[in-house]
Amino acid sequence: MSTIRILPLETSRRIAAGEVIDRPSSALRELLDNAIDADGHDISVAIAQGGIQEISVTDDGTGMSREDLELSIQEHATSKIYSPDDILTVRTLGFRGEALASIAAVARIEIATRQRGTDRGWQLSCAPLQTPSISSFPCREGTRVTMRGLFESYPARKQFLKRPQSEALLCRAMFVERAMSHSALTFRWKSGSELDVLLPGTQKDRVVQCYSELSRMPVMETTFESDLVRATLVYADITAYRRDRRLLQVFINRRRVPEWSILSLIEYEFGKFLPGGAHPIAFLFIEIDPALADFNIHPAKKEVRLKSAAEIRAAVHEMLSKELGTRYGGSTAPLATQFSKMEEFSFSAAERSPIEPYGELGSTVNANPGFQPRESDRGAFQVSRPALPDDFWQRVQRGDASMPRYIGKGPGPFILFELEGALYILDQHAAHERILYDRITSKEGESQSLLVPYVLEVHEDDSFLEQSKDKLAFMGYHIEKEGEAWIVTAVPSIAASQSLEALTEWLLEPLPAQTTPLDAIAASLSCKAAIKDGDILDQYSAEKLISQALALPEPRCPHGRPVFISLSKEKLYTMFGRIVE
């Protein structure tokens, strides 16, 4: 009997909705984004019981017609994009058309709206699994969305919510995050007896409104413009600094992002004027062409993938060195030497893995789990490990002629060698990937301290990090909890420069994958750190790679693809219609 079942639509919908809306603050994020996208200038938020009982967001934006109101809570209903390419140019915060539908799937929702320039308002009410009702409703131009009873009918989800006070803090943090990057808009906040109004002003005004401790110190604002980037930096005078990174923030296209390459650059430039262990108070707001910033990687748009990342960093570097150089004196070296020096300091591997050169960051995993050669290939090619003599390693080192002989580079990732009369074709990336993977998973990894410790963004329940601490430490990650924050102070030296990226990617994975950090991170790290398809190896490196690949207990990459194949002498002769000598 079959055990696989297609999930009923209602179940799959609820799972999908739970990925977008997992707690009150994510509903608030979506409602704020909608209010901003709808050209709201005065946006009010009110929450009760940390948003679990109720969240309402009111705006004076465009409002909706009755027809649009009806469509708005349907899945994939959006007025912001139409064709797939529109994602490249979209300037709104939302575009997936799934937020209101998701909220309606997990909570009761009420939307009151009146389209600008019309004299009649409408109200929609809906509860999970019920048909929405719409009726005429007297209201001002704009929209008010109210969400009540989040996860009321889904105890499985509700148990993951924190206490109302903690959820309220997360909501407040979300409110501040959006208010920070929209200084021209008015934002109002109400939670219990807590009231706050943020009036429109300069970027600096907004930063100071959001973080009132800054009102007691000199704060500067400067802007910078290049072909690629428009940036505004708000920072506190270097006489003020912090022991943590709470007030070091980067926003790209009005979303706060954990873009560590830019964060480290800011730390580095300020670090020249600050005492050791001090972190600057600086907020950088970067605007780039939306085509260069892909936010479509994560449902919560928490992450950005930058194209032209190097140019963006160069522009930020120019801005920082000019500004800080003028104000505090001293000149700074051009970016190329500066940045590579910094990476060398923070990330140079203590123990290099065996093959050089390494090539650059970033090939992505081509997930093809369980790849097996086709039946018809099996006779022709051998993909299993050849029998190796006991003294294989000594003979390789002595350059024994009966040992593998490197022939040269083939097309793409392939290199060719001969061993005991057979011709071998080896996939250099897959081979190196497997070698690194085995090393990472088999023995305790050495650590490389970070010059600049890295703060992990862990908003939700962090118990899985606590549980995974030992496994992460085995790989070489040193992670400590300091108050509410998780700080990375050291990373595996085997692939130091890729380690933070692999760790943050893993943190963004949905929960089930987080239970096996060793496999998941080892696979991602080894793929990122392995030599790339196009890298050209010198003879020594190629030979070393070949010997190590031959000694692999399982000559397949972590995704199951073969590391090498061989054609026996007999096979070659037969292929050419010759008689084997």
Residue with tokens 């009410």: 125
**Which residue lies nearer to ligand ADP by CB, 72 or 448?**
72
**Which residue lies nearer to ligand ADP by CB, 63 or 299?**
63
What tokens does 349 get? 């591997």
- Site map (CB under 5 A) of Mg ion, residues 96-125, x = contact: ---x--------------------------
Give the CB-nearest residue to Mg ion: 94
Spell out the residues 6+ positions from residue 497 whose beta carbon is closer than 8 angstroms to its own.
343, 347, 349, 361, 529
Smallest distance from Mg ion to CB 94, Å: 3
CA nearest to 172, candidates 153, 156, 192: 192
Binding flag, residue 232, Mg ion (CB under 5 A): no
Task: Report the DSSP pairing between strands 122-126 and 108-114.
Answer: antiparallel
**Which residue lies nearer to ligand ADP by CB, 34 or 541?**
34
Selected from 25, 26, 34, 498, the binder of Mg ion by CB under 5 A is: 34
Using DSSP's 3-state secondary structure scheme, residue 529 falls into helix
Judged by beta carbon distances under 5 to 8 A according to partner kind, the member of ligand ADP, Mg ion, none in contact with residue 548 is: none
CA nearest to 118, candidates 44, 66, 73: 66
Ramachandran sector of residue 105 (left: φ over 0; alpha: ψ -120 to 50; beta: rest): alpha
**Which residue lies nearer to ligand ADP by CB, 79 or 153?**
79
CA–CA distance, 87 with 103 (Å, rounded to integer): 23
Smallest distance from Mg ion to CB 98, Å: 8
Smallest distance from ligand ADP to CB 54, Å: 17
Residue with tokens 């934006």: 61
CA–CA distance, 175 with 32 (Å, rounded to integer): 8
Helix (H) or strand (E) holding 265, with range, is helix 260-271
**Which residue lies nearer to Mg ion by CB, 34 or 526?**
34
Strands, E assignment, 245-327: 248-252, 255-256, 282-288, 293-294, 305-306
Stretch that binds Mg ion, among 91-99, 273-281, 442-450, 454-462 (CB under 5 A): 91-99
Stretch that binds Mg ion, among 28-36, 240-248, 312-320, 372-380 (CB under 5 A): 28-36
Binding flag, residue 562, Mg ion (CB under 5 A): no
Binding flag, residue 502, Mg ion (CB under 5 A): no
Residues lying near ligand ADP in the complex (CB under 6 A)? 30, 34-35, 38, 59, 61-64, 68, 72, 77-80, 94-101, 143
Smallest distance from ligand ADP to CB 122, Å: 12
Ramachandran sector of residue 571 (left: φ over 0; alpha: ψ -120 to 50; beta: rest): alpha
Smallest distance from ligand ADP to CB 80, Å: 5
Size of the site for Mg ion (CB under 5 A): 3
Binding flag, residue 280, Mg ion (CB under 5 A): no
What tokens does 314 get? 């160069």
Stretch that binds Mg ion, among 89-97, 133-141, 366-374, 437-445 (CB under 5 A): 89-97
Give the CB-nearest residue to ligand ADP: 94
CA–CA distance, 229 with 314 (Å, rounded to integer): 10
Binding flag, residue 94, Mg ion (CB under 5 A): yes
Judged by beta carbon distances under 5 to 8 A according to partner kind, the member of ligand ADP, Mg ion, none in contact with residue 353 is: none
Judged by beta carbon distances under 5 to 8 A according to partner kind, the member of ligand ADP, Mg ion, none in contact with residue 413 is: none
Stretch that binds Mg ion, among 88-96, 254-262, 325-333, 451-459 (CB under 5 A): 88-96
Smallest distance from ligand ADP to CB 158, Å: 22
C-alpha dihedral (372, 373, 374, 376), degrees to nearest 10: -150
Q: What angle do CA 266, 269, 270 make, to 5 degrees?
A: 85
Smallest distance from ligand ADP to CB 405, Å: 59
Helix (H) or strand (E) holding 225, with range, is strand 219-225
Binding interface with Mg ion (CB under 5 A) = 34, 94, 99
